[in-house]
Amino acid sequence: PEVGGSCFCFLQRQSSGSVYSSIHGFSQEEIKEKLLAFPGGSIDLLKQDSGIAVLTINNPPRMNAFSGAMMVDLEEKVTQLENWTDGKGVIVQGAAQTFCSGSDLNAVRAMSNSQVAKEIFFWMRSRAYNRLRF
């Protein structure tokens, strides 16, 4: 894939456990289930022999906005990258000449219940975002 204009980042190897979920008692599987109710797009991963991976945010009809399913997909891809012993670095890019417009607002509106939103935020933070170091 074409890589122009992408962000280059390294994975930081950390524990995959969630302190927040342990303390506050929400189930990571329940959070995944809630997120999967908002389909669309994908997170594509290409691991190259050079040790460089290309992670593509792929939801062009929504300007690569993150759907709930994409959040789950991102967590799974980050876990794959953490376990990739030959990995040296990751290039993060958006499909179709667009990086990422943020979260899909339809999903955000549907998850406007503050408790659900809080659980999802902390799940994403503990499972994916905190494991990336830019």
Evaluate whether 6 touches 93 at the Cβ level (below 8 Å): yes
Supply the pTM of this predicted model: 0.71
Q: Is the dihedral of CA 28, 115, 65, 51 positive or negative?
A: negative
pLDDT > 90? residue 123: no
Q: What are the residue boundaries of the structural domains of the chain, listed by start? A: 12-133
* pLDDT computed for residue 58 by the predictor: 98
* CATH 3.90.226.10 assigned to 12-133: yes
Please tell me the distance from the alpha carbon of residue 43 to that of residue 131, in angstroms, as a whole number.
Answer: 16
Bridge partners, 8 (sequence order): 91
* pLDDT computed for residue 106 by the predictor: 77
User: Residues 27-39: pLDDT tens digits?
Assistant: 788 888 888 988 9
The rounded mean pLDDT for the chain is 78
Evaluate whether 58 touches 44 at the Cβ level (below 8 Å): yes
